[in-house]
Every structure is written in structure tokens, then in C-alpha cells.
């Protein structure tokens, strides 16, 4: 089923209820299908409060005007394994200079791992110091809507966000917490995002989720151009 229509959380609930009915059982919580709950009246519409980076184009490589050549290059996928110890080390490193980058709560495991992957990808791609870069990720808006959505709403409420655009030189020369802070800024802006479906490109795409071993480790499938993958894997583990 298309992500434009429904997100993973909602489809999991839908399939669960469908299975109950197929077994001859009564459904516990029927999916709530009424898209009008997302519709704003004309009087409620307000001008954008900030630049919505998530709907803009990603930075181009220095000297290039489009990404067609890059998109034609062969890509490959690796499943990165992050042990509980790896994650703890990254989180500790991310929070070493916490007060410099944020006045809110410590950076999370997700922010630390994502910032680490962002840095390693930029390094593996041999970015010039002035190369602009940003990271795109999804945010679950089920609990962020005002007023809140019905608990069993059926639709797509996991939407893309993009960090502020910075140079690769900044990203790699500053501590890990700097990259985390740029991700945190985008997540916090999510409280006011305009709701639209979005897609994510293939090269550089990743998912980060708890391992099925249930030992505190993470699995992270990651797609990158073949020519950069070996360097990425090397930096990914060496720099933890």
C-alpha cells in the first residue's frame, strides 16, 4: 500500500483488525477513516512561519546544476549493525558539549546515530569543505497534531523533515553534537509543519530500528552509491 495513503503504524493496526475479522472475532478498534479531520477552514489558514526546507530541493554538488548524473550511478545496500555499546558511545559523544548546542533535553539515540551516519556519508563522498549538505528524515506526527488525531486514525501521518543546510566542512569539523543539534531543530519545528505527503530519494536512504534480537542493538539498512560504500562502512565503525 502506498505511503502517500497510509503510514506503517496505521497499516499495522489495519491489518491487525482485518485479521481479527478474518478469524471470526469482533474488531477491537476499527480504523478511523475520515480525512476531513485534517482539513482547515479558510479562516484558520495562516501564512508560513518559517522556510519549509522539507519541500525544497536537496543541495546540488558543487559545479553541478542537477542530480541526473548522480541518480544514474549504481547503488548498493548494506545492513549496518549497531550494538548497544556502539549506541551508548555515540549518545555519550553527542552529549559531551550539550549546553553549547541546545538548552533542552539530551540528544537521543536516534539523533546521535543519524548524525553519525550523516557525517560518515559526507566523508565517504569526499565532499569539499564548502559542499552544502542536509539530512532528511521522517517524523511521527500522530501525537503532534493540534487538536490531536483520533487514536486509530487511518492515513499517513509520518512525514518528511529536513535539517538546516550546512557545509560538509562544518559538519565534519565540529563535534557530533553539532549535527545532532541541526536534526533536533528540524524535529522541534515539526510542531508547526504543514501536512503534505512526501517521498525520499534512494541514494543515501536508510532506516534505523531496534534489532529483532531485543538486546538494545539497532539495525540500519543503508543505500549508497557503490563507489562510496566501502569508505562509508570503514568510517562508520572506525569513528564510533
The pLDDT value recorded for residue 44 is 58
pTM: 0.76
Fold topology of 53-238: Chloramphenicol Acetyltransferase (3.30.559)
The pLDDT value recorded for residue 89 is 96
SS3 label, residue 20: helix
Query: What single DSSP character describes residue 5?
Result: T
The residue ranges of the chain whose pLDDT is under 50 are 191-201
pLDDT for 152-171, tens place per residue? 888 887 777 777 789 999 99
Q: Does residue 74 contact residue 205 with C-beta atoms inside 8 Å?
A: no
How far apart (Å, rounded) are the C-alpha atoms in residues 163 and 139?
A: 12
Query: What single DSSP character describes residue 45?
Result: -
Q: State which H helix or E strand residue 11 sits in.
A: helix 8-22
pLDDT for 184-198, tens place per residue? 887 776 543 333 333
Q: In the numeric block, which cell numbers belong to residue 17?
A: 483488525
The pLDDT value recorded for residue 109 is 92
Residues 52-77 as b or e (16 or more Cβ within 10 Å = b): ebbeeeeeebeeeeeeeeeeeeebee
Distance of CA 214 to the CA centre of its chain: 22
The pLDDT value recorded for residue 43 is 60
The pLDDT value recorded for residue 21 is 93
Amino acid at each position: 500500500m502506498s505511503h502517500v495513503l497510509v503510514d506503517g503504524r496505521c497499516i499495522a493496526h489495519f491489518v491487525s483488525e482485518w485479521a481479527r475479522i478474518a478469524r471470526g472475532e469482533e474488531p477491537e478498534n476499527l480504523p478511523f477513516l475520515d480525512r476531513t479531520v485534517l482539513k482547515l477552514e479558510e479562516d484558520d489558514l495562516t501564512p508560513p512561519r518559517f522556510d519549509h526546507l522539507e519541500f525544497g530541493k536537496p543541495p546540488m554538488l558543487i559545479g553541478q546544476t542537477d542530480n541526473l548524473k548522480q541518480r544514474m550511478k549504481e547503488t548498493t545496500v548494506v545492513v549496518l549493525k549497531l550494538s548497544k555499546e556502539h549506541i551508548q558511545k555515540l549518545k555519550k559523544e553527542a552529549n559531551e558539549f550539550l549546553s553549547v548546542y541546545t538548552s533542552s533535553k539530551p540528544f537521543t539515540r536516534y539523533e546521535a546515530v543519524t548524525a553519525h551516519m550523516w557525517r560518515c556519508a559526507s566523508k565517504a563522498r569526499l565532499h569539499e569543505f564548502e559542499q552544502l549538505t542536509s539530512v532528511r528524515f521522517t517524523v511521527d506526527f500522530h501525537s503532534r497534531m493540534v487538536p490531536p488525531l483520533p487514536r486509530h486514525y487511518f492515513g499517513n501521518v509520518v512525514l518528511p523533515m529536513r535539517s538546516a543546510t550546512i557545509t560538509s566542512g562544518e559538519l565534519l569539523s565540529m563535534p557530533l553534537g553539532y549535527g545532532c543539534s541541526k536534526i533536533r531543530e528540524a524535529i522541534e519545528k515539526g510542531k508547526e509543519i504543514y501536512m503534505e505527503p512526501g517521498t525520499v530519494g534512494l541514494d543515501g536512504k536508510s532506516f534505523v530500528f531496534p534489532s529483532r534480537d531485543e538486546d538494545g542493538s539497532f539495525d540500519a539498512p543503508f543505500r549508497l552509491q557503490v563507489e562510496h560504500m566501502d569508505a562509508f562502512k570503514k568510517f562508520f565503525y572506525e569513528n564510533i
